[in-house]
Chains A and B, each alone.
Chain A
């Protein structure tokens, strides 16, 4: 154990966990990384490309190395950063990216082949021979690609989403964020304070410098207590704000239960969509390292991380308490770590400070102007090569902290293409202009890195936000805190022969960057893609700026001249599970059920999804083993007797108003103005471009009251378009619209015995042909006084009606019709039979109204009235559309045993088959039980004049070619006598 004194862990309790099957112990407050370190585990994973041994590198979400698979089986989550995984009792973790045991990875041979795996390796190597790509290269790359493995099992956990609204969102709960929250909270603003850590405080938890003469964590606790007492402040810990979106909308993930073994009955993570009037970005800074030869061994980590482990987690990165530790720094910050390590009793052998003007160490040796030029240690650091005073020498060293200065976390500030700007004094990119509106960077992410500066800047940012919102801010008293300058130096890497890693996760070295430059990758974007630098899951948090500096050195330009890279969301990885917000399986989307749904279930109906609707597709009876048997029986029953079908899903729009008649005349292409009260008319709606939009019926219930039906699929679009016509095109017409689709249960009663059946339930209504002819409609009562609407309309070609009752009575009405019609052979039918009946009758449906169909093509060209203006009327008469000679026809196979396939294309018999000779296509097809063979509907060039001609239907996809006879589209009762009977 290498625990040191102090820290923010709860030593009174012990937590047991396993890593690669081995059991260890840690404490509440530990991360997996700190607990592994406390147990002397240094080798935690293998690098992506070369399978180099890797250890813990950072103490936060920027971690490039310590990626583990957390949990097991269905809950296994690859690429979890050990540095942010909160320890819980029973945690299981395993290392990734090795074949065989972690300590002896068979793929470590890649490291020996490194000269072949240089920048652009994939692009150069896998180009030839071409034939090798599919069979050899791709499978090989796929097997080696990716970090970790998915379990391939369904995720057993629940996720949800939510929406939050606030005046000020504060991103980050360190010094700046806490001060901003305090200022805004005290002023009464609605505040959300979000931090990715499980504990507020940010770097204040990792530093030893006091605030107001007491340890900083105590100040954090006091502020947190006050914030929690304010009803207008909401604190979200374990919450990463991962992206900034338009108009002050931020995406955040709260890891609700990732610190527990399982979420229990609750959710694992919540996706928050936060709408904030202003936001303060107090995201802090990420330390950068200084590449030198073999700088990637376990035991080499960021100096600030080393300090955080010592101060917050009471652990030193060594196996034994007296193991030698050194610091390599290019700025004053490395000396802070040295002092803190000494205070914790760590065996510090000295600070290698690359600057000639390095400060003297108080109780430790300083190698001013020194460099670390190499390391040794197969599975962990054992010694470093120190170049000092013109001499190289090897020194025993088990852990090395590297301090290269701090990069402000500008990520969210660049999400709207806000370009970071280079600050030559701080040697860092700071948030620039053009970022998300209303986002105010503060503290270390704005370059104000000392505690005192961050506290003051947080308060100032809150004041800026509050002033913009018209809220009076009272700036709190500033606590006393350290205000050191960091004095960074422009020493970006240590030149030398060995491989010096810049991007650990994607194994990109200084040499790779130099090579890409030699190969003429001159823009940063090209260099990134050629080398894959910054493109791993850490998105180059610890490497991008260093790589730019190396590139600048190559080109002898300044860093800002060389360029910068901006960041896209997400700030850290977001699981797809939480982005789905729990909408999986049956919860993927809502369903709409018809009023007779549960009745149909009791009848054994098979259902089909029609958009959001669930509709009965057919009703299998005992003994029926194939759907065709059920559908044939249902269709024949309708034509011979009477059938019932729930048609509630058709859109219904109630149209009222003094100008309702005039309005409908303008939205329908055919004449609607002459429709009498008590009558229904078939109607065509066009798009303004002249093609067909939708069809349906229009019933006039009173002088100023109509009800319009639409197809099921277009109900929403037709309503929207009618509102557009009402509000935008003819705003002076007096017309009111409202949907009534769900209000009425509508049942089609179809077949020669339909009148007989309906007479039994309508309360004494006269349904004779004279009193209630074809296309009549009326209000009446049924079943002893229930108000209902009756329409005499037919989709099947038979004598038919649609009866509507308030939806809550739909199921009961269906049952009553079934009982009353038992002696008439009443038969429920589903959408499949509905389709067969309409194809037999030659009625157009969705397959015919495909968005390119004109009224003429349906043979309804004369319906488009030239006597009035209506949507699409002018354009329907334009040359291209008017000249369209394709017409809807019926199609019958010459050999009755042959199938007709929808989608097949039509050709003149014997003609060459290509796009030029194409004569049309089959839109709908089915077996007609009425005729005893297959039939189809289709659009055929001059189809109206080709009745009787034998043509060819070609379906090359299925290798079919069928001879068809062109027929009338009306296979049943072409004169329409039955429906008028």
Chain B
């Protein structure tokens, strides 16, 4: 697989470490309570189709990326720096 790194172009997936659902960016507020954290830690969608997920460019620039992938075809529709995604979400929250 090839990951379209927003700064470095297409890079082979071998250079990356996969984490999973990009919802992990949305860590609950510490005051949100146990149920919110339980959901954050354990509840995952398993979509047949588009999936936003976290990849770490471990053998590269050490950026965490949010990659949008079609789980049915492996087609990758785009990748963003997770840091930018996280900042945007916090600004919007």
Any A–B CB pair closer than 8 Å: yes
A residues sitting closer than 8 Å to B (CB atoms) are 245-249, 275, 437, 688-689, 716, 720, 723-724, 727-729, 731-732, 869, 873-875, 877-878
Total residues of chain B contacting the partner, CB 8 A: 34
* Pick from B10, B37, B56, B87: contact of A724, CB under 8 Å: B56
Docked Cα-Cα span, A932 to B72, in Å, equals 62
* Pick from A246, A248, A720, A727: contact of B82, CB under 8 Å: A727
By a CB distance below 8 angstroms, the chain A residues around B90 are: 731-732
Please give the distance in Å from A947's CB to the nearest CB on chain B. 33
- Given the interface pairs A437-B75, A724-B64, A728-B83, the reply to whether A275 lies near B12 with Cβ below 8 Å is yes
* Contact between B41 and A688, CB atoms less than 8 A apart: yes
* Contact between A247 and B40, CB atoms less than 8 A apart: no
Q: Please, which residue of chain A has its CB at the minimum distance from the CB of B3?
A: A247
Please give the distance in Å from B87's CB to the nearest CB on chain A. 5
* Contact between B2 and A878, CB atoms less than 8 A apart: no
* Contact between B1 and A249, CB atoms less than 8 A apart: yes
A-B CB proximity, top 4 nearest: A869-B30, A247-B2, A727-B83, A731-B86
- Given the interface pairs A437-B75, A728-B86, the reply to whether A875 lies near B25 with Cβ below 8 Å is no
Interface membership of chain B positions 21-46, coded 1 if the CB is closer than 8 angstroms to chain A and 0 otherwise: 00011011010011001101110000
By a CB distance below 8 angstroms, the chain A residues around B63 are: 727
Docked Cα-Cα span, A875 to B28, in Å, equals 12
* Pick from B12, B17, B37, B74: contact of A874, CB under 8 Å: B37
Please give the distance in Å from A470's CB to the nearest CB on chain B. 16
By a CB distance below 8 angstroms, the chain A residues around B37 are: 688, 874-875
Interface Cβ pair total, 8 Å cutoff: 71
In chain B, positions 49-81 with a C-beta closer than 8 Å to chain A are 54, 56, 58, 62-64, 74-76, 81
Q: Show 28 residue pairs from A and B whose CB-CB distance is below 8 angstroms, ordered by the A residue.
A: A245-B1, A246-B74, A247-B2, A249-B1, A275-B2, A437-B75, A688-B40, A688-B41, A689-B42, A720-B58, A723-B56, A724-B19, A727-B63, A727-B83, A728-B24, A728-B64, A728-B82, A728-B86, A729-B25, A729-B86, A731-B86, A731-B90, A732-B87, A732-B90, A874-B28, A874-B30, A874-B37, A875-B34
Q: SS class of chain B's interface: helix, strand, loop or mixed?
A: mixed
Please give the distance in Å from B33's CB to the nearest CB on chain A. 7
By a CB distance below 8 angstroms, the chain A residues around B62 are: 723
* Contact between A877 and B34, CB atoms less than 8 A apart: yes
Q: Please, which residue of chain B has its CB at the minimum distance from the CB of A163?
A: B12
* Contact between B76 and A247, CB atoms less than 8 A apart: yes
By a CB distance below 8 angstroms, the chain A residues around B74 are: 246-247
By a CB distance below 8 angstroms, the chain A residues around B87 are: 731-732
- Given the interface pairs A247-B2, A247-B74, A249-B1, the reply to whether A689 lies near B41 with Cβ below 8 Å is yes
Among A246, A247, A689, A724, the most chain B Cβ lie within 10 Å of the Cβ of A247
Docked Cα-Cα span, A437 to B10, in Å, equals 16
* Contact between B27 and A727, CB atoms less than 8 A apart: no
* Contact between A727 and B12, CB atoms less than 8 A apart: no
By a CB distance below 8 angstroms, the chain A residues around B83 are: 727-728, 731
Please give the distance in Å from A897's CB to the nearest CB on chain B. 48
* Contact between B34 and A874, CB atoms less than 8 A apart: yes
Extra 20 A-B pairs, beta carbons < 8 Å, given A246-B74, A728-B64: A245-B1, A246-B1, A246-B2, A247-B74, A275-B10, A275-B12, A688-B27, A720-B58, A724-B24, A724-B64, A727-B81, A727-B86, A728-B24, A728-B86, A731-B83, A732-B90, A873-B30, A874-B30, A874-B34, A878-B34
Among B17, B63, B81, B86, the most chain A Cβ lie within 10 Å of the Cβ of B86
Among A728, A729, A731, A873, the most chain B Cβ lie within 10 Å of the Cβ of A728
By a CB distance below 8 angstroms, the chain A residues around B1 are: 245-247, 249
Docked Cα-Cα span, A275 to B63, in Å, equals 23
Docked Cα-Cα span, A723 to B41, in Å, equals 18
* Contact between B30 and A728, CB atoms less than 8 A apart: no
By a CB distance below 8 angstroms, the chain B residues around A275 are: 2, 10, 12
Docked Cα-Cα span, A246 to B76, in Å, equals 10
- Given the interface pairs A249-B2, A275-B2, A723-B62, the reply to whether A728 lies near B54 with Cβ below 8 Å is yes
Among A275, A723, A727, A732, the most chain B Cβ lie within 10 Å of the Cβ of A727
* Contact between A720 and B56, CB atoms less than 8 A apart: yes
Docked Cα-Cα span, A688 to B20, in Å, equals 14
Q: Please, which residue of chain B has its CB at the minimum distance from the CB of A434?
A: B73
Please give the distance in Å from A726's CB to the nearest CB on chain B. 8
Docked Cα-Cα span, A573 to B81, in Å, equals 41
Docked Cα-Cα span, A314 to B26, in Å, equals 72
* Pick from A249, A731, A873, A878: contact of B38, CB under 8 Å: A878
Q: Please, which residue of chain A has its CB at the minimum distance from the CB of B76?
A: A247
